[in-house]
Structure 1
Amino acid sequence: MMPPILHPRVYVGLLALLSILLVPLAVKSPFVYHLAIQVCVFAGLATAWNIVGGFAGQLSLGHAVFYGIGSYSAGLLVAMFGISPWIGMFAGAAISSVVALMIAYPTLRLRGPFFSLATIAFLEVVRLLAVHQEGWTGGSAGLNVPLQVGLPWMIFREKWAYLLVAFGFFLLALLVSWLIRRSRFGFYLIAVREREDAARAVGVNAVRAKIAAAVISAVLTSLIGSFHGMYLTFLEPSSAFSLEMSIQIAMFALIGGLGTVAGPVIGTVLVLPVAELARGWLSAFGNGTHGFVYGLLLIFVVLFFPRGLVGHLSERVLRLIDRLPNGAKARSVVLPTAAIKPPIATKGQPILRAEGLHKRFGGLKATDNVSLTLHQGEILGVIGPNGAGKTTVFNQLSGFIRPDQGTVSVLTDNGWVSPRSPETFAHAGVGRTFQIVQPFAGLSVMENIMLGAFMHTRNRAAAEAIAREVAELTDLTPLLDTEARSLTVGGMKRLEVARALV
């Protein structure tokens, strides 16, 4: 079996990352060093933002609040108590995680723009606090970080030392993003972003997943902010808590490709150097002319690459990369055997009971004392005209609507239980499809089916084995690598059935 590192996709990716480090070391220009440091910092910030904004699909427009908290925490602890920023950055990360939890817990339980508005509001509140607390923040005049040169103080005489540290923080953010994307948690985030109701139907706790993404993103942003504050050696509220910075890092991820690991990096590498050069070359024409360049690039990408550069060009680029040495060699992968769960009841025994279901919507009585029992091996249909309440009954049997009266009980390995939400119904063994098909369009057929399998295992290979077996049952094997959005309606229906089966 060919070692994974010899595959062209791996070694080309590693060489591309190392070029960010090696080119400035070869050129040895102060400006190129500064540009590379900025690329590492903003690529790391965009990657961290992408965890909540790209993977989870929750638009954070005030994300610079975590950058500012990190930079001020490290800077103030150095200035006031002589504590190393290597320690102070963890204090900033802890504060940022608490702030992220305070913002996310109430707002991410709702749908709509509430999280975006809350992050902007919190950013402005913290900025004003930093401006008015002149005694310890320096107010609007800013705060100079003590120039204590040396590794313990994260301040160096040579630019290359800053570059090495910046590259390390960038790699940390990139590694976390890569691990999340390949994990069950990453699948859950993308499922929530694509279709939250369908995600809940396969056992995903959507609120918990979104909050976790917000906290992880905030911690990484704060850590990078601590380093950048020490690099700049000057902290100023309007820069540290800047709405412009929040939009800038989101724009890098958008241009490169939301919800991808490489997208934020590619967006930063392509756009930031152009903007920095424009800032220097065009500043004579007016302050902020570089913003005009940002705007033109963004309009171009939105018009011609709405899914970002990675979303539109990745397949073509990967095909070219696969032509390199070792790219044509197939790697043998040994997948574990899928464990088939035995039935929890013998044929004919009850496995689901609904007793006395009542549901009103205002003055309309949708269900009135509905009772039914489903037995092992039985196919049970609910028949009635439009408006009879069939969908309401189905939603009550899967947890999407709570009955005003009555109970729904499911037989599990631990006996009869009465779930209260779609997630708990799914974990009890109740799978469902939707009247209007709801595939996770941004995922492949394989990944769609794996989402259901992840409810029973955290192991990616085991989930893939289960998905392949169910795909064989539902005649989806030839389409496993196809994006779900490109299936026919019939294919999407079979995909939903497969997702429910696992």
Structure 2
Amino acid sequence: MTAKALATPAAARRKSGLLSRLTDPRVYCSLLALSLLLIIPVAIDSPFIVHVFVTICVFAALSTAWNIVGGYAGQLSLGHMVFYGIGGYTTALLIQHFSLSPWIGMWAGAALSVLVGIGIGYPCFRLRGPFFSLATIAFLEVVRLLAIHFHGVTGGAAGLIVPLKLGWQWMIFREKINYLYIAFGLLLFAMAVSWAIRNSKLGFYLTAVREREDAALAAGVSNTRVKLKAVMISAGLTSLVGSFHAMYITFLEPATMFSLATSIEIAMFSLIGGLGTVAGPLLGTVLVVPLAELARGWLGASANGLHGFVYGTVLVLITLTLPGGLAGTFGPWVVRWIDRLPGGGTRREEYEAPEARPITGTPGEPILTAENLVMKFGGLTATDNVSITLHRGEILGIIGPNGAGKTTIFNQISGFLKPTSGSISVVGPDGATRTPVSADEFARLGVGRTFQIVQPFGKLTVLENIMVGAFMRHAKVDDARAAALRVARLVGLEDIKDVEARNLPIGGLKRLEVARTLATEPSILLLDEVMAGQSQSDTQRMVQLIRTIRDSGVTVIAIEHNMQAIMSLSDRIVVVDSGRVIAQGDPQEVVKDRRVIEAYLGEDFVHAQGI
């Protein structure tokens, strides 16, 4: 910050920041649009219309809560109503047995839902694809059957009636408009939490996990931990809405409170509106729920089940024509239009980049030691007693024929594969030697890596990709953005920092992956064929970049098939063949080794180099 800003009283700076936010067209347009959910039903003054808008707020809040897990983290939970039901039953039972106000009971239900969310999420997050979705459905069905079985507590299949105590203390009213105020407040709260997550370190981490779990691990993200955080927040919000809705409908039965159909509906609203967006769940709900509710209101009993037909029709049309959903497709266009409104010319100023973590240590000392690494896949031995010592400040090249085991070595010394036998020790930033066991532990100890097949977070911009790496050392979003800008300048990506990563050519993707890894401020950088598939100019740029990285104090290990580049870069070379180290030492000496020539280089290389 500037000296003038530092001299300004904190209260004045906060006031100024609040005013600038309120004059931002994105903020005042959003508040104006949300206020219509109150203005329209109050203006029409119809109990049925109020009911429709209460339903919109409830389902939009439920879908917003689901989107934190299903949209941000990419975990397709189809049993999310388990938290809704727990919230509703907990609040109703506390009223019935202890005369405890629902304003207090709903928080007890949320706390219980969070615990249940951890119990469900921790084992289920080990599953992939449809198996995770099926597991969440199974948990929902189990809880529903338990609610039926313990009829002495829950009322069983006959249901449970909420004690009808009127007033704000009991959240039960004669005038429906009061329910709308509470439902609208819950929706605002859910959307505020969703917005805060999306624009925080956790939001970036969740998106990274959704896009590429391996790349997220390499950036120091503990995948299970961030997904558990998402499910805890989502479960708590869902439970709060379930508690309120129980007070609204005043009658609870397992088939309704733990409904698979409703779980699918709230997921569908997010899909229609736009997965992983803040506004998407609300847009999907506003589009679909009024159509179904109005049809049922107009047609009465003859429209039984019509809401399912409406939902299905809209879902098919959206997925076929707008696969990104409403917000994903039209959102960028709307934002550009809004930014032209008064107050839209000023955007966030760039912050001064924080200092990079200093790399300490004595040049030439061992910084990573791999001893007798054996990696077996069934009957195949991928690495056979491989021992490598990396010295601080050097560039170590690893060469060998395809299938020799080079990438398997990389996967072991970066934590992505646990060796069948052998050990790996790393000197951490504090100078202590440790034996990490997981990929995110290796990353936090300063071992950064790229991948042979690039793994960008495709739906994030170039700068946001680099920020994911920067969050390891800089917890604040502004600090991470500034650090990411510094790295983007270093690797030549500043001019395209706002381009989505999926739109980059291969050369840009390779540099982006190096940049994301550099943003973690590693002591050791593992480069897996970063020059493969690049043009000659891109290769020369990468060679110069690697030299610059080494000169900054980072120790480099590079797997490469471009012999001209690796020979000019490396201080030492290790040659691997059939999972074994067959030679290592000075590059000029290694290439003269007869075993290396026969296994990898070939006689043509020997003649061309005049060896």
Q: TM-score, normalised by structure 1?
A: 0.97
Of residues 359-368 and 278-287 in structure 1, the stretch that sits farther from structure 2 once superposed is 278-287
SS in 2 for 1:3: helix
The answer to whether structure 1 residue 378 and structure 2 residue 388 are counterparts is: no
Deviation of 1:141 after TM superposition, in Å, equals: 2.2
For 1:125, the equivalent position in structure 2 comes to 142
For 1:138, the equivalent position in structure 2 comes to 155
The answer to whether structure 1 residue 394 and structure 2 residue 437 are counterparts is: no
The answer to whether structure 1 residue 489 and structure 2 residue 506 are counterparts is: yes
SS in 1 for 2:202: helix
For 2:269, the equivalent position in structure 1 comes to 252
Deviation of 1:282 after TM superposition, in Å, equals: 4.3
Name which of 120, 127, 147 aligns with 1:103: 120
Where structure 1 has 5 or more consecutive residues not aligned to the other structure, the ranges are none
Separation in structure 2 between the aligned mates of residue 270 and residue 100 of structure 1, nearest angstrom? 30
Deviation of 1:466 after TM superposition, in Å, equals: 0.5
Change (3 A) 1:194 1:332: closer
One-letter identity of the residue aligned with 2:360: I
One-letter identity of the residue aligned with 1:366: A
The answer to whether structure 1 residue 17 and structure 2 residue 34 are counterparts is: yes
Separation in structure 1 between the aligned mates of residue 375 and residue 455 of structure 2, nearest angstrom? 25
Query: What per-residue deviation string (whole Å, max 9, x for no partner) do you get for residues 227-275 of structure 1?
Result: 0000111112111111111001000000011111111111111111111
Separation in structure 2 between the aligned mates of residue 125 and residue 332 of structure 1, nearest angstrom? 49
Superposition pairs of residues 249-288 of structure 1, within 5 angstroms: 249-283=266-300, 285-288=302-305
Deviation of 1:48 after TM superposition, in Å, equals: 0.3
Where structure 2 has 5 or more consecutive residues not aligned to the other structure, the ranges are 1-15, 520-611
CA contact (8 A) 1:344 1:412 kept: no
Name which of 72, 81, 91 aligns with 2:108: 91
Count residues with an aligned counterpart: 501
Separation in structure 1 between the aligned mates of residue 347 and residue 80 of structure 2, nearest angstrom? 41
Deviation of 1:473 after TM superposition, in Å, equals: 0.7
SS in 2 for 1:377: coil
For 1:293, the equivalent position in structure 2 comes to 310
Deviation of 1:418 after TM superposition, in Å, equals: 1.6
Where do 4+ consecutive residues of structure 1 move more than 6 Å? none
SS in 1 for 2:399: coil
For 1:366, the equivalent position in structure 2 comes to 382
The answer to whether structure 1 residue 68 and structure 2 residue 94 are counterparts is: no
CA contact (8 A) 2:87 2:240 kept: yes
Change (3 A) 1:55 1:344: same
Separation in structure 2 between the aligned mates of residue 285 and residue 224 of structure 1, nearest angstrom? 30
Query: What per-residue deviation string (whole Å, max 9, x for no partner) do you get for residues 200-231 of structure 1?
Result: 00000001111221121111101100000001
Superposition pairs of residues 422-461 of structure 1, within 5 angstroms: 422-461=439-478
Among all aligned residue pairs of Structure 1 and Structure 2, give the percentage whose two residues are the same amino acid: 61
Separation in structure 2 between the aligned mates of residue 304 and residue 19 of structure 1, nearest angstrom? 28
The answer to whether structure 1 residue 157 and structure 2 residue 174 are counterparts is: yes
Separation in structure 2 between the aligned mates of residue 463 and residue 136 of structure 1, nearest angstrom? 51
One-letter identity of the residue aligned with 2:382: A
CA contact (8 A) 2:83 2:242 kept: yes
Name which of 313, 326, 333 aligns with 1:316: 333
Find the structure with the greater CA-based Rg.
2
CA contact (8 A) 1:103 1:115 kept: no
Query: What per-residue deviation string (whole Å, max 9, x for no partner) do you get for residues 406-429 of structure 1?
Result: 222222232222211110010011
Name which of 49, 55, 59 aligns with 2:66: 49
One-letter identity of the residue aligned with 1:335: Y
Of residues 363-372 and 275-284 in structure 1, the stretch that sits farther from structure 2 once superposed is 275-284
Separation in structure 2 between the aligned mates of residue 433 and residue 358 of structure 1, nearest angstrom? 22
Query: What per-residue deviation string (whole Å, max 9, x for no partner) do you get for residues 305-341 of structure 1?
Result: 11111111111111111222222x2335140333122
Name which of 412, 415, 434 aligns with 2:428: 412
SS in 1 for 2:398: coil
Separation in structure 2 between the aligned mates of residue 336 and residue 110 of structure 1, nearest angstrom? 42
One-letter identity of the residue aligned with 2:168: L
Name which of 315, 319, 322 aligns with 1:305: 322
One-letter identity of the residue aligned with 1:82: S
Separation in structure 2 between the aligned mates of residue 496 and residue 478 of structure 1, nearest angstrom? 16
One-letter identity of the residue aligned with 2:270: A
Q: TM-score, normalised by structure 2?
A: 0.80
Query: What per-residue deviation string (whole Å, max 9, x for no partner) do you get for residues 417-449 of structure 1?
Result: 221111001001111111111000111111100
For 2:359, the equivalent position in structure 1 comes to 343
